[in-house]
């Protein structure tokens, strides 16, 4: 039997107390103010919602993008992000909206379900939007994933990250650490830093720098540069750091405006000499 999408009931009385059709669970928290054609909701609960649906997706922001009607996976994560996946393209989503964002779920004039996902924008700026028009629901489920322990790196790569977090200026003069394992909708960035001009700098660290690592950092930068809180003074730039960087990876990084930094592990260990510590 085809799954049914829960639709919002409409009313001509803006002051009436309207609620969406009841669900066994909800991963969207309804705010107190009803909007025309639906309710505004935020993705802020402990549940993750997975929907397989035939849908059309339109993104409007710093650029516009259109995904024609096709079967895709829609993911609403508990961290407040919304992602659109297809069966191809490896693990990279076709489109997404970074947290925090709000979701308005309603119906079009012809009865189709429509999500309008709106990102939080800086004061005076127009927010990015993601409009998802749903033709048919094939699957709709919710899951409590619990607390994730995070990616556990081992050996040299883990120690490199620790050392570079303590000494970020070895990558670029004047660089200071903001946070290790900076979260994004597609995984954590190893280091988020700030340069002398106050610009945000994302650092991806590998023991051996190859093309896959450059592609990973490219995806992070594409996502981070949608966040107005990080781009207030300019675009987020990237540094690809490794003990050894393959020539093909360096060419690709430089073509994408990503700086490369070859890290001397032994020299860094010398900066972190345990004999010089008081504790």
Q: What is the pLDDT of residues 195-243, one digit of tens each?
A: 999 999 999 999 889 999 999 999 999 999 999 999 999 999 999 999 9
Comparing 193 with 270, the larger pLDDT belongs to 193
Longest dimension (CA), the chain: 74
- What pLDDT is stored for residue 2 in this prediction? 40
pLDDT at 17 over 50: no
For all residues of the chain together, what is the average pLDDT?
Answer: 79
- CA end-to-end distance (rounded Å), the chain: 65
Centre a 10 Å sphere on the Cβ of residue 79 and count the other Cβ atoms it contains: 14
- Lowest mean pLDDT segment, chosen from 30-44, 68-82, 87-101, 186-200: 30-44
- What pLDDT is stored for residue 120 in this prediction? 82
Comparing 59 with 157, the larger pLDDT belongs to 59
- What pLDDT is stored for residue 260 in this prediction? 96
Distance, CA of 82 to CA of 136 (rounded, Å): 19
- What pLDDT is stored for residue 41 in this prediction? 42
Backbone phi and psi for residue 66, each to the nearest 5 degrees, phi listed first = -130, 130
**Which of 19-28, 103-112, 158-167, 239-248 has the largest mean confidence?**
239-248
Using CA atoms, how far residue 174 sits from 116, 166, 170, 199, in Å, is 41, 13, 9, 11
pLDDT at 29 over 80: no
The domains of the chain, with CATH numbers, are 29-144 (2.70.180.20), 155-276 (3.40.1350.10)
- What pLDDT is stored for residue 65 in this prediction? 92
| 139 within 8 A of 50, measured Cβ to Cβ | yes
pLDDT at 139 over 60: yes
| 115 within 8 A of 105, measured Cβ to Cβ | yes
Element (H, E) at 54: strand 47-60
- What pLDDT is stored for residue 117 in this prediction? 92
- What pLDDT is stored for residue 79 in this prediction? 79
Q: What is the mean pLDDT of residues 76-99?
A: 85
Q: What is the mean pLDDT of residues 97-121?
A: 87
Share of the chain above pLDDT 70, in %: 77
pLDDT interval class at 254 (50, 70, 90): very high
- What pLDDT is stored for residue 272 in this prediction? 52
236-266 burial string, b = 16+ CB within 10 Å, else e?
bbbbbbbbebeeebbebbeeeebebbebeee
């Amino acid at each position: 039997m085809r799954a049914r999408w829960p639709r919002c009931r409409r009313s001509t009385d803006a002051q009436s107390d309207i609620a969406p059709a009841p669900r066994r669970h909800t991963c969207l928290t309804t705010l107190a103010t009803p909007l025309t054609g639906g309710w505004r909701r935020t993705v802020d609960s402990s549940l993750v919602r997975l929907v397989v649906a035939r849908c059309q997706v339109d993104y409007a922001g710093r650029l516009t993008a259109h995904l024609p009607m096709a079967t895709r996976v829609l993911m609403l994560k508990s961290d407040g992000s919304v992602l659109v996946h297809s069966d191809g393209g490896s693990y990279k989503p076709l489109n997404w909206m970074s947290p925090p964002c709000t979701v308005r779920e309603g119906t079009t004039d012809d009865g189709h379900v429509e999500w309008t996902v709106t990102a939080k924008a800086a004061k005076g700026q127009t927010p990015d939007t993601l409009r998802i028009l749903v033709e048919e629901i094939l699957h709709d489920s919710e899951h409590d994933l619990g607390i994730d322990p995070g990616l556990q790196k081992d050996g040299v790569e883990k120690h490199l990250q620790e050392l570079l977090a303590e000494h970020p200026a070895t990558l670029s003069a004047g660089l200071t650490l903001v946070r290790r394992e900076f979260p994004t909708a597609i995984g954590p960035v190893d280091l988020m830093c700030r340069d002398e001009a106050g610009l945000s700098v994302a650092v991806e660290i590998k023991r051996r720098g190859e093309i896959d690592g450059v592609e990973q950092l490219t995806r992070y930068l594409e996502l981070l540069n949608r966040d107005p809180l990080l781009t207030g003074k300019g675009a987020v730039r990237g540094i690809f750091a490794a003990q050894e960087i393959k020539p093909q990876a360096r060419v690709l990084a430089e073509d994408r405006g990503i700086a490369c930094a070859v890290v001397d592990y032994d020299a860094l260990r010398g900066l972190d000499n345990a004999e010089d510590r008081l504790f």
